[in-house]
Structure 1
């Protein structure tokens, strides 16, 4: 049994699941009276997701079937194996680094820059879902389809709720012209 291959898959799936949980908790924290400890949990889970995704990428160097070079991992779309899908994984990793670092240094970068950078979590999550769904070796399995389909459904519904909530809040705040 190829333990490196298993570890690569496990780290990638764990990173994706943690990223999904962090995103959902971040959206959930916008519900009034639900903030507090959810924000700390949200941050920690995001950082741990970054760690697992980093492990996933690092272990690809040692894969016996399709090893990646360091440059293939760091430079998007240069991989010899599935360059587009691999490049999407690299881009989502970089975006996650930006989101985590701006969150860790929010006071230094300012709330406005942090907020703009933080919204990168939506495209990075979507791109990582595409990366995992179409490049993952387990993607055709029923459990993997359920995992990706369920996460896409949950994040989509939560995002719609967040947008609806923000729009209804803006409508309540804007004066009615008669």
Structure 2
């Protein structure tokens, strides 16, 4: 049994799931009740997702089927194995780093710049979705597409909800 491969998959799937939960908690933060809980959960889960992404990338150095080099991990499109799909994972990780970093310095960069940067979570989640569903070696198993498309549906629904809440709040403020 190839334990590295299993751990690469588990950490990747876990990172994606945590990223999805963090995105949804960020959306739910706009619900009037429990804002503090959702904010704390959103922040912590986003950071834990980054940790799992780091472990996922680190383990790729030791994969027996397709070992990656440091350059292939850190430079988008440098991978000899599925360069586009690998790049999506790398780009998603960089986008998450930007979001986390700017969140730590929100007061310094200003709320407006932070908010604009924070919306990178949507393309970052989408490239993570594409990376997982198209590159994941488990994608041919029945559970994987069900998992990915279920999260896709929930995130789209949450995004539509967020858009309606924001539109409603703009109308009320005028």
Equivalent residues of 2:30, 2:165 under 8 A apart: no
Tell me how far 1:143 sits from its aligned partner: 1.0
Q: Quote the residue 1:123 is aligned against.
A: 123
Distance of 1:26 and 1:89 partners within structure 2: 21
SS of corresponding position for 2:7? helix
| Structure 2 residue 13 is the aligned partner of structure 1 residue 13 | yes
Task: Give the aligned CA root-mean-square deviation in angstroms.
Answer: 0.9
Tell me how far 1:33 sits from its aligned partner: 2.5
Q: Quote the residue 1:29 is aligned against.
A: 29
Q: Quote the residue 2:59 is aligned against.
A: 59
Q: How do residues 1-178 of structure 1 correspond to structure 2 at under 5 angstroms?
A: 1-174=1-174
**Number of aligned positions between the proteins:** 174
SS of corresponding position for 1:164? helix
Tell me how far 1:140 sits from its aligned partner: 1.5
- Summarize deviations over 1:88-123 as a string: whole Å, max 9, x none: 110000000001111122222221121111100000
Equivalent residues of 2:24, 2:155 under 8 A apart: yes
Distance of 1:79 and 1:49 partners within structure 2: 23
Segment drifting more, 28-37 vs 73-82: 28-37
Distance of 1:147 and 1:105 partners within structure 2: 34
The TM-score with structure 2 as length reference comes to 0.97
Higher gyration radius (CA)? 1
Distance of 2:114 and 2:52 partners within structure 1: 23
Structure 1 spans left out of the alignment, 5+ residues: none
SS of corresponding position for 1:78? coil
Structure 2 spans left out of the alignment, 5+ residues: none
